[in-house]
């Protein structure tokens, strides 16, 4: 599956294939791409001919910055992962409304539609030595979770602003998540969700839903935070949840709005299980996803950076 020959015979191999790496820098491709394209600062960047260039400038700058900060030359692999068009379908069979908001998003980025944006970024990535994957029957998060969990001896840096991935920090000691160019810590978790342990994220989202993915809440808004916090702290251990115990614990709390809600909702447990079915990471076969090693193309990279007037990066071709 992977090529054994190194890039540049007689030279030190800068970026290594995934199977040979002790450190892996994994980019959430769509998340990074849309952040660059949606940046107010980058959206104003144009070439002298009026060609949008912010997405190329921002994406390359991000990859370069992360590489220079975290890579060990000669033992680090670059992996770019993207969601395929059918990736959501398995979860939509569990919950038809899952991520339905995505279908209504018609915004143009930098005056470009999503396909044109993806095409430009794909051409840029092809020029950099890397492995890649486009998840098909599952989503990027699922492939990333499987990749990290099944390679405990590799050190992963996962670059994404998607907080869904933070749940992996609960049990993956070989993982650092980079969000807004800084490693995610418990302080980020406490400030954003009010939780004290990454392993509590899954149960929190099972109970309260996830509006960004159109997953509904199972609890009334009047539920007091300390009540839920005590239940989550006791039962919210990663994805191995005994939801029947969770329901019984909530019933014993005796908080009136919550007790009424549970009494009026005989299928409360079923709703929790449905939410868990779309929130928990799905299993996948990494061999069916990960591509062979792409050695990159220095000359083509120079051409792309020149076309988009990213000349400041022409002396930053650190991959070769």
- Domain of 242: which CATH number? 1.10.150.20
Residues 156 and 235 reside in one and the same domain: no
Residues 90 and 229 reside in one and the same domain: no
Q: What is the pLDDT along the chain (320 residues), one digit of tens a residue?
A: 333 343 333 456 899 999 999 999 999 999 999 888 888 788 889 999 999 999 999 999 999 999 999 999 999 999 999 988 788 888 999 999 998 865 544 455 666 778 889 999 999 999 999 999 988 788 999 999 999 999 999 999 999 999 999 999 998 999 999 999 999 999 999 999 888 899 989 988 998 899 889 999 887 665 555 667 777 877 766 677 888 888 877 777 655 666 666 666 778 889 999 999 999 999 888 777 888 899 999 999 999 999 999 999 999 999 99
Residues 272 and 292 reside in one and the same domain: no
The predicted structure's pLDDT at residue 7:
38
Residues 272 and 288 reside in one and the same domain: no
Whole-angstrom distance, CA of residue 204 vs CA of residue 228: 8
The predicted structure's pLDDT at residue 74:
93
The predicted structure's pLDDT at residue 310:
97
Residues 72 and 100 reside in one and the same domain: yes
With contact defined as beta carbons under 8 Å apart, do 169 and 198 qualify?
yes
Whole-angstrom distance, CA of residue 295 vs CA of residue 5: 10
3 assigned to some structural domain: no
Residues 150 and 31 reside in one and the same domain: yes
Whole-angstrom distance, CA of residue 77 vs CA of residue 317: 16
Residues 179 and 38 reside in one and the same domain: yes
210 assigned to some structural domain: yes
Residues 91 and 163 reside in one and the same domain: yes
Residues 218 and 230 reside in one and the same domain: yes
Identify the domain containing residue 202 by its residue range: 194-279
Residues 228 and 257 reside in one and the same domain: yes
4 assigned to some structural domain: no
The predicted structure's pLDDT at residue 110:
60
Number of domains in the chain: 2
Residues 167 and 36 reside in one and the same domain: yes
With contact defined as beta carbons under 8 Å apart, do 55 and 110 qualify?
yes
Residues 27 and 157 reside in one and the same domain: yes
92 assigned to some structural domain: yes
199 assigned to some structural domain: yes
CATH classification at residue 58 = 3.40.50.1010
Any idea what DSSP says for residue 210? Answer: B
The predicted structure's pLDDT at residue 259:
64
């Amino acid at each position: 599956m992977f090529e054994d020959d190194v890039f540049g015979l007689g030279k030190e191999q800068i970026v290594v294939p995934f199977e040979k790496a002790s450190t892996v820098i994994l980019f959430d491709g769509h998340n990074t791409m849309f952040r660059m394209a949606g940046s107010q600062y980058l959206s104003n960047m144009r070439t002298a001919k009026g060609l949008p260039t912010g997405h190329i400038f921002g994406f390359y700058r991000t990859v370069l910055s992360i590489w220079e900060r975290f890579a060990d030359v000669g033992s680090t692999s670059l992996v770019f992962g993207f969601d395929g068009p059918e990736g959501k379908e398995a979860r939509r069979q569990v919950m038809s409304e899952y991520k339905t908001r995505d279908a209504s998003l018609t915004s143009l980025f930098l005056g470009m539609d999503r396909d044109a944006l993806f095409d430009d970024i794909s051409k840029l990535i092809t020029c950099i030595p890397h492995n890649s994957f486009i998840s098909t029957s599952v989503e990027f998060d699922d492939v990333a979770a499987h990749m990290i969990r099944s390679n405990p001896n590799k050190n992963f840096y996962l670059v994404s602003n998607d907080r869904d991935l933070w749940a992996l920090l609960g049990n993956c000691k070989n993982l650092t998540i980079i969000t807004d160019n800084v490693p995610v810590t418990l302080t980020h978790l406490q400030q954003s969700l009010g939780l004290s342990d990454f392993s509590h994220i899954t149960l929190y989202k099972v109970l309260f839903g996830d509006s960004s993915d159109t997953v509904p809440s199972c609890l009334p808004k009047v539920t007091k935070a300390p009540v839920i916090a005590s239940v989550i702290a006791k039962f919210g251990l990663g994805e191995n949840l005994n939801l029947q115990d969770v329901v019984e614990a909530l019933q014993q709390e005796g908080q009136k709005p919550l007790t009424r809600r549970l009494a009026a909702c005989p299928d409360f447990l079923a709703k929790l299980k449905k939410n868990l079915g779309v929130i928990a990471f799905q299993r996948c076969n990494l061999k069916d996803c990960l591509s062979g090693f792409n050695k990159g193309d220095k000359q083509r990279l120079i051409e792309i950076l020149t076309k988009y007037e990213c000349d400041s990066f022409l002396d930053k071709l650190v991959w070769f």
